[in-house]
Amino acid sequence: MRLVGPAGEQVGIVRIEDALRLAQEADLDLVEVAPNSRPPVCKLMDFGKFKYEAAMKARETRRNQTNVIIKEMKLRPKIDPHDYGTKKGHIERFLKAGDKVKVTIMFRGREQSRPELGFRLLQKLAEDVSELGIVESTPKQDGRNMVMVIAPLRKKSDVKHEKEAAAHEQDVVVEEEIEASAVDTAAEQ
């Protein structure tokens, strides 16, 4: 078998008995890394430490993962301009936070015979928020509702990193102000 040392150095091709003896002498485990290769490859390592580090790495990747959340905003075809502005403000806030937005227009009664009103309203909304997001799925009639999905231009992870950087910068500024006021009070005394 081909043996790899604890620091990753190549020991060479050795017999299994010799590899086991080297592992016992170094107080390490003999782990088969590539059983299908010819000859099989084994490595001298502390297997418990290896499993712990792999678990920590997996945990770190899970922690850095961002879940894409789809927020939903419901409108009616005959929406008041002020209400439209409020709903548009909510959609802009969701897009700035890096979330997708599902915009639903609900048709009731005779409104169902005029789907072009809803389509125009969704197009107007898409134009109004075009600097923050793009239309991921175009407006589609789905029974009594018309649905459109808007995706943010910036990823949620980018927004998260920017917020952390801004918070860190603000902490630094506050610390500098505290130090400056401490120097001023010391100078007065």
Our separate counts of H helices and E strands in the chain read 5, 8
Amino acid identity at 85: G
pLDDT exceeds 90 at position 146? yes
* 64 or 3, which is more confident: 3
pTM: 0.56
Q: What domains are there in the chain, each with its CATH number?
A: 2-64 (3.10.20.80), 70-152 (3.30.110.10)
Task: Write out pLDDT tens, residues 151-169.
Answer: 998 776 676 777 777 777 7
Q: Is the pLDDT of residue 177 over 80?
A: no
Locate all alpha helices (DSSP H) within 27-155, ordered by sequence: 47-64, 81-96, 115-128
Tell me the per-residue pLDDT of 99-113, one tens digit each, with 9 for 90 and over: 899 999 999 988 888
Transcribe 21-33 into DSSP letters: HHHHHHT-EEEEE
pLDDT above 70 (res 183): no
- pLDDT tens-digit map of 20-55: 888 888 888 888 888 888 888 888 888 888 899 889
